Structure 1
Amino acid sequence: MAVFLFIVLVSAGVLLATSGAQDDFGKLSDDYKKGVELAVQQLNSHAGAQSHFLFFKSLEKSDIDGGFGVNYVYHHFYAKATRCPKGTSNANPTKCAFRNDRPLIDCGICYRMFKGEMQTEPKPYVYCIQKPKLTQDIVAERKDHCSKMSYINGSPSLLASGRKQ
């Protein structure tokens, strides 16, 4: 009986954790969702990836209104491997449970949006790395790259307006 109760509690915990990640993605604005989708697409197309990856949790977000329909977006978030194999279509945390035996993927992305569409110039910057391999130098490099991308026509730095989540 104790084993059955344990299994039920663990299953409920996994279900709550996975639905929380999906809820977090659902709460993102369309501008942030487009960036997450680009980063996750790149993760899932990586030759070394064996599992399917999904958005897990936002860490830091900011965007700057550049005027005339232009926004500069920065998003720092975690992606996580799922139990579904690479190439799974229509994956979500309910269908593909997150794996807890793989490290989180730390992603920093920035890009320019014009009237709700991601622009190809300047090229969107996507830098994802396994969390254990993340160094302060990499964090600084990502933030520096994104700050330079948005510092146009005297606009403030993208990261200067960041808010922690």
Structure 2
Amino acid sequence: MAAGLLLLVCAGAVLYSAEAQDLYNELPDYYKRGVDLALEQLSSHAGVHHHFRFLKSLEKSEIEAGFGVRYLYHHFYLKPTRCAKGTVESNPQRCPFRSDRPLMDCAVCYKTSGDLMESNPKPYIHCIQRPRLTQEMTTTRMDHCKKMSYNSGAPTLLAVSKG
């Protein structure tokens, strides 16, 4: 009985991990670039010891500014894995999630042109452990992204429908 229960739990963990990988793979490339940028920033931080993987999107919005220019906002969760950072360059999606650490709550906003991320204005990335996110931080994120699109004369990012 215990072995059967253990098998069921393990099968569930594999399916859950595969579902998260599918969610990342289903993102359009221009949203994947923002997730990848957040993962890159996180892995370069000295205090982060484990690899993170994309878990799910909470909110997405975009503005088509014309001539192939797009302003993107993406709010998502990253989940820690059991793999040490720097050990999974070939296929990071194979690292199993761990449940003994909090999720990383991330928001990114950036400009793309022809589906390539632009360096001006500088992409904005903000990630923090979920329990430490405050309402003030959430407001600061939104304000920063609104200013990014207003500075270029585009309509506000957050006025566009959520995805």
Map Cα deviations across residues 55-100 of structure 1 (whole Å, 9 max, x no partner).
111000011001111100000000011000111212434x210010
Question: TM-score normalised to the size of structure 2?
Answer: 0.95
Matched AA of 2:112: M
Matched AA of 1:160: A
Map Cα deviations across residues 32-57 of structure 1 (whole Å, 9 max, x no partner).
00110000111111100111111111
Superposition pairs of residues 38-117 of structure 1, within 5 angstroms: 38-88=37-87, 89-93=89-93, 95-117=94-116
Structure 1 segments unaligned to the other structure (5+ residues) = none
CA pair 42-117 structure 1, distance change in 2 beyond 3 A: same
Specify the SS of the correspondent of 1:26. Answer: helix
Matched AA of 1:30: D
Residues 22 and 92, structure 1, Cα contact 8 Å, conserved in 2: no
Aligned length: 162
Specify the SS of the correspondent of 2:92. Answer: coil
Runs of 4+ in 1 over 3 A off after TM superposition: none
Query: Which residue is equivalent to 2:158?
Result: 159
Deviates more, 1:155-164 or 1:16-25: 155-164
Query: Which residue is equivalent to 1:24?
Result: 23
Offset, 1:152 = 4.1
Offset, 1:153 = 5.3
Specify the SS of the correspondent of 1:99. Answer: coil
Q: In structure 2, how many angstroms separate the alpha carbons of the residues matched to 1:77 and 1:69?
A: 24
- Alignment RMSD: 1.2
Matched AA of 1:104: L
Q: In structure 1, how many angstroms separate the alpha carbons of the residues matched to 2:38 and 2:27?
A: 15
Map Cα deviations across residues 11-37 of structure 1 (whole Å, 9 max, x no partner).
111011101100100110010001100
Q: In structure 2, how many angstroms separate the alpha carbons of the residues matched to 1:7 and 1:125?
A: 43
